[in-house]
Structures are given as C-alpha cells and as structure tokens.
Amino acid sequence: MDSGIGLLAAATAVRRLRPDADLVLSSAPDTMPWGPRTPQYVNEQALAVAEAAAEHRPDALIVACNTASVHALPALRARLEPDVPVIGTVPAIKPAAAGGGPVAIWATPATTGSPYQRGLIREFAEGVAVTEVPCPGLADAVEHGDQAGIDAAIAAAAALTPGDVRAVVLGCTHYELVAQRIRAAVQRPGLPPLVLHVSAGAVAAQALRRIGAVPDPGAVAEGTVTVLLGGRVGTLPEPALGYDEGRLLQAVGSAR
C-alpha cells in the first residue's frame, strides 16, 4: 500500500524474490501527495487504503510509504494485526551511517525533521554528519510522470545537499523510481561513486520472513497482480508504465 505508485519498488522486489506471489497493489492517488499533509490526514487515508487491501485477505501488508510508516504504522498495526502482519518502510539510515558519512537523507517535508526520523538518526548515526534534505514536489512529480517537475525537484534538493556527501538515503518510496537521476544530480566529479540507500529489497525480504516464506527467485509459477485505486479494482496508472518497475509488473502479472 501507498498513496500512489511509490509502492512499485517494493512490489517489484517481492516479485523478484517470489515470482509466484499474488500481489495486491492498493493506493489512493486522488489523495496524494501525503508528504505535506497533517498526521491526522495521513492516518485516515492510510487506514482506508490498508482496509481496501485487507479485504483481499493478504498474508501480509507492506506499508510501502515512508510518510505512512512515520505517522500511521501504530494505527495500522492496531487495526490489522495479528491477523495480517504489517511491515513498515524505514529509511535506510543505519546502513548509510555504517559507511561513516557524510550522509544526506532525502525525504518528504512531513518526514524531514519528524521526531521519527530524528530518532533514527540519534539511534543509528551518532557521530556521523547527517543532513536532512526536504524534497517538496518530488513525489508528486514522480507520481504523475512530470519529467520537468522531477528534474526541477531533484535539482532543488541536490542544491541543498552538501558537496562532500558520500551516501544518500532515499526516504520516500517514490524516489526509488528515479534513483539513477538522483545519483547523477548529486554525484560530484572526481569523487568516489555515490552510494544510494533504498528500502524496497529489505522490506520485501522482511515481509517474506514474517510469513515464513522462503525466497525462490526461480519459481516457475506466475502470480497475479490486482490493482486497487481508492478501493476499486483498476489497472496500473499510465505514469507507472514510464518506470521499469511498472513495466515489469504489467508484463509478468495478469493485471486485473
């Protein structure tokens, strides 16, 4: 679940680990972006999107949205667990800080500076130079396939990113869809390759562990893909097909 197509990265990661898994992709694009919204609004929308997914009786629910994980995870777990394990998406601050820094965390305005993110920095990045970089408009531009908007938002965030940064944590799942464009904008000539830290792979692996499923990338059976938009069955939005992840999910699953 996510506000929009930010869930593509996690869904693709699950698909690669278990090609036979049936996937339900639940979002509410008419309500996004959640990044600049109030915590109460995020809670309400996240619960509605999660409950739409829960009607399909999933084995687990991945909250493939950093903003929803920051603000709504306790409410989602209270509503769905223990029947449905709920796996949140945590910015990959711990592995980024392990490299020694300096580190930049790109995130939505709602996540940047939040007590949740600041707590992760205190816990996992003590003694490491960390810069929190708000990225207003980037998730919205990615959602709508607005190429000029993506370029402008990335350029603005890159301008706020210190030149000596060696690792960037992508603290919004939408950003993972344009990771290479972010890398190109932040990479400084003459410096070692920038390390980007994303969450989709780790979240997918954790979801499988929670339900006792073993990764089987070579599985022959092919799972289905069910798309829910505002609780109604639909198809992947056209902008989703502008990204590798969207095209993969459309090609390997029977979208219905």
The set of catalytic residues is 65, 172
- Which secondary-structure segment (H or E) carries 232? strand 232-234
| Tokens standing for residue 222 | 């092919």
Question: Count of alpha carbons within 13 Å of 160, Cβ hemisphere only?
Answer: 17
- Non-local (6+) Cβ contacts of 99 within 8 A are 166, 167, 195
In this structure, what DSSP letter does residue 24 have? E
What is the three-state SS of 64-117?
CCHHHHHHHHHHHHHHHCCCCCEECCCCCHHHHHHCCCCEEEEECCCCCCCHHH
**Which amino acid is present at 79?**
R
Separation CA 101–CA 165 (nearest Å): 7
Question: Do residues 110 and 67 touch, judged by C-beta distance below 8 A?
Answer: yes
Residues belonging to the chain: 256
| Tokens standing for residue 241 | 């097909």
Separation CA 250–CA 15 (nearest Å): 11
Separation CA 8–CA 173 (nearest Å): 8
